[in-house]
Amino acid sequence: PHGDSPDLIDSAFTYLWDSTILDWQIVLSIRNTFDAQDRLQENFTAIEYFGDPLLFKEIYSYDANGDNHLIEEFAILGNDVFPSSRTDITYTDHLPIEVTVSLSDGFDFFPSSRVNYAYTLFDAVRLVLSFEWEANDWKMTERIEYKFDSQQRISTKETTIDPTSTAERELVHYGYIQDDNLSIEMFLLWDDDLFDWVLDSKKHYYYNGLVSVPNTPAGPALALEMYPNPTVDAVRLTLENEAIVQVFSHGGQLMQSLLLQPGQMLDVATLPAGIYQVTAQQGADFYSGKIVKQ
């Protein structure tokens, strides 16, 4: 841990059992450095890849308002350090309204992706627009719109894939049993022929004292590494296979539950700033870790 903080970490290591040499082998190491205000300054990650470590470094910069406006990522090869990407973040009243990722060829940076956010009067994300750089212009690839009920809870989430061409649309309705505790999610798909929404599936939630109880297997949880951490919008989980992922608030409330594919980012953009517990289940293996949402 970092100092007396229960949530920030200076370093973390992940090991796998090698049945050939009958010993634990390190596969991932993460080292963080913080400034005097406990803000993340640098992240150093080493990933073992068939005996050859892949080394990466991230540098976090903050503006005069204390917002993390720039993340620079570098690849380390021997004694050489090469820029690989940069993430520029624009804020309004400490809320990120635009996140732009640019990739480097080792010399120059070129735009790659962009996400824009719009908020409600109570600072909840109401619109997310995702773009990719294509043919020297930004092409919208996804549009997500959230609507809220009178208690400022998400009532619907409408996702449109590739809005500029043949759009695929999904609508999720949320029902609550009490406060922010979900009782049901209904998933609907848009049917062009019927020109209407068609129910695809439902998901019901059950509680023990109105605190969600995740389906966790017996045995101790393994460390779940996620980066970047802290994050403003999404984190990548270091898992090699499909996993059931759940996100819980500090009080134990289930905030998200989804099936995450390898390489897929966990989107936490709509969650309020705070500390969240993330669990992942891969077969009989259970992983757990914490993220800081800025």
Domains of the chain listed by start with CATH number: 1-89 (2.40.128), 216-294 (2.60.40.3080)
Per-residue model confidence (pLDDT) at position 218: 43
| Residue 214 in this model has a pLDDT that exceeds 60 | no
Listed residue (70, 67, 2, 73) closest to 38, CA to CA: 2
Report the C-alpha gap between 101 and 72 in whole angstroms: 10
Report the C-alpha gap between 85 and 58 in whole angstroms: 9
3-state secondary structure of 78: coil
Percent of the chain, pLDDT > 90?
23
Average pLDDT, the chain: 83
pLDDT, tens digit, 9 for 90 and up, residues 125-168: 899 899 999 989 999 998 989 898 898 888 998 999 887 766 78
Structure token pair of residue 88? 């520029």
Q: How many Cα atoms occupy the beta-carbon half-sphere of 146 within 13 Å?
A: 20
* Average pLDDT of span 233-259: 77
Q: What amino acid is encoded at 123 in this protein?
A: D
Q: How many Cα atoms occupy the beta-carbon half-sphere of 12 within 13 Å?
A: 21
Its sign, for the CA torsion 188, 247, 212, 179, is: negative
Q: Do the beta carbons of residue 104 and residue 83 sit within 8 Å?
A: yes
For residue 183, give the DSSP letter: E
* Average pLDDT of span 42-65: 85
* Average pLDDT of span 168-191: 87
Report the C-alpha gap between 18 and 273 in whole angstroms: 39
pLDDT band at 232 (very low <50, low <70, confident <90, very high): confident
Report the C-alpha gap between 223 and 279 in whole angstroms: 10
